[in-house]
Amino acid sequence: MFKRWNHFFVVLTAIFVISAGLAVSADDAPPPEDPQPATSADPKEPAPPAKEETPPVKKAADKEAPATEEKPAAPAKEAAPKPEKEAGEAAAPSASKPTPDAPADGAPQAAYEQKLTQWKEILKKLREIRVAYQTADDENTKKLQADWDKTVAQGNQLLPELRDAATEAYIAAPESDRQLSRFVFKLAGDAYKRDEFEAARKIAEAMLAAGAESKSLYGIAGVCAFVLNDFDVAEKRFEEFNQAEPKLGKGAELEEEDFGKLFQSVGGYESVVDDYKKYWAEEQSLRKKEAEADDLPRILMKTTKGDIEIELFENEAPMAVANFISLVKEKFYDGLTFHRVLDGFMAQGGCPVGDGSGGPGYKIPCESHQDNYRKHFRGSISMAHAGRDTGGSQFFLTFTPAHFLNEQHTVFGRIIKGMDVLAKLQRRDPTAKPPLPTPDRMLSVEVIRDRGHEYKPTKVQ
């Protein structure tokens, strides 16, 4: 019904059911948008017009190159779980008086209860709007849609505040309120699934420090540490994850399917943690030199979710950068969508057709096979392609270090501002069953700094 119902209401009510009066049943709510990785059954590149971006998948530790044009392959998952069929629900802690173990002033608990009350009101209003919409005439439909959008925006703004308040209340009196503990655990899992790794890590580490026992928390903390380039901590948490036994009891661990995905992520990152310690040291050295020179090209990408600023690696990927800047200056990207956005992986855009089949009408060489190629980290911008020397206009921005694409896809820049904006982009899997959610767009892309010379693509002949 509403474009954002699935994105906002279902995903967040999956954390908890406020009360019987505010709960949304699984029958009432549409299924969650859990994008799935591409599979080995994806088609190879057909004759023109080519499906530019659908390579087969590979296991996280594999080093095979993706094979179809302009679509970075998601890592295949061993014994990958099926997507969830309905939103999971867990009871929210009720607003109550501070427990005897809480601080005397009860300030963290009071702040949390205030945010929780506001959250309940938002969910209640969304429920009422949705019910009213079902019987509204054309005249009232637009007003209800406007009310819906406004309320959703309020909810999106409140969620981080609720999350912080709940975490602080938990830290003030850890494990003293079972319902609050379960709620905070759900918030950690929600932040992790939203690729909000700083928030997820803060909650997971706070719970572990307080003595919480959960295999999932070790995994979340480890993956978040890896994504945020804290590889020593990641290695420690991976070891603890492997040694821990799953805790029994409802709400003690992630749901089975989410836990399976976490298990696979831990295994994939753990297999390359030593490599990434070395890669990160090299990357930090390069970034220091780049900061001192302060002359790399930069672009500003204005999206429907906010601004993203990207610095381009002209030193290591001059052909990809020249091609990208030339397209930006031609306004090629203005108005194009992020047609493929997968949780825990990347956001892909740059297709003029909007379905992954389009390009600029030519192909450029890959630069990922050179000795000085840049590695994939969180926030990398990399060329999408269907095999060596088949890139064009499509690119992807990584939520996580896509280590399985190193040496296969040309990394030609990194996000320097706006990682929080990237995480907000509408998740969208083109291979999922219709109807697909409306994709976010690049409103405009502009060059805000270059090196003053002509930028033009080097085309494959």
DSSP 458: -
Domain span at 334: 295-449
Query: 155 with 264, same domain?
Result: yes
Q: For 365-421, what is each residue's pLDDT tens digit?
A: 999 999 999 999 999 999 999 999 999 999 999 999 999 999 999 999 999 999 999
Does residue 44 lie in a domain region? no
Return d(Cα 114, Cα 109) in angstroms, integer.
Answer: 9
Query: What's the number of domains the chain is made of?
Result: 2
Query: 321 with 413, same domain?
Result: yes
Does residue 361 lie in a domain region? yes
Q: For 90-146, what is each residue's pLDDT tens digit?
A: 344 444 444 434 444 579 999 999 999 999 999 999 999 999 999 999 888 989 999
Q: Taking the model in full, what pTM does it have?
A: 0.80
Task: Give me the residues paired with residue 348 across strands.
Answer: 340, 396
Query: 328 with 251, same domain?
Result: no
Sheet with 395-398, side-by-side order of all strands:
340-342, 346-349, 395-398, 380-383, 411-417, 306-312, 298-303, 442-449
Q: Helical H runs in 88-137? A: 107-134
Does residue 37 lie in a domain region? no
Strand intervals (E) in 139-226: none
Query: 229 with 311, same domain?
Result: no
Query: 221 with 349, same domain?
Result: no
In 3D space, the residue among 95, 60, 7, 1 whose CA is nearest the CA of residue 439 turns out to be 7
Residue 300 phi/psi, 5° resolution? -115, 120
Does residue 164 lie in a domain region? yes
Query: 101 with 223, same domain?
Result: yes
Does residue 256 lie in a domain region? yes
Q: How many CB atoms lie within 10 A of CB 134?
A: 8
DSSP 316: T
pLDDT score at 70: 54
Which CATH number does the domain housing residue 355 bear? Answer: 2.40.100.10
Query: 229 with 305, same domain?
Result: no
Tally the residues of the chain.
Answer: 461
Contacts of 67 by beta carbon, 8 Å cutoff, 6+ apart: 44, 45, 55, 56, 73, 386, 387
Query: 354 with 249, same domain?
Result: no
Q: Which residue has the higher pLDDT, 177 or 423?
A: 423
Query: 258 with 167, same domain?
Result: yes
pLDDT score at 71: 60
- Return the minimum-mean-pLDDT range out of 72-81, 214-223, 286-295, 381-390: 72-81
Domain end among 273, 304, 320? 273
Does residue 278 lie in a domain region? no
Give mean pLDDT, residues 211-227. 96
Task: State both tokens at 81.
Answer: 């779980």
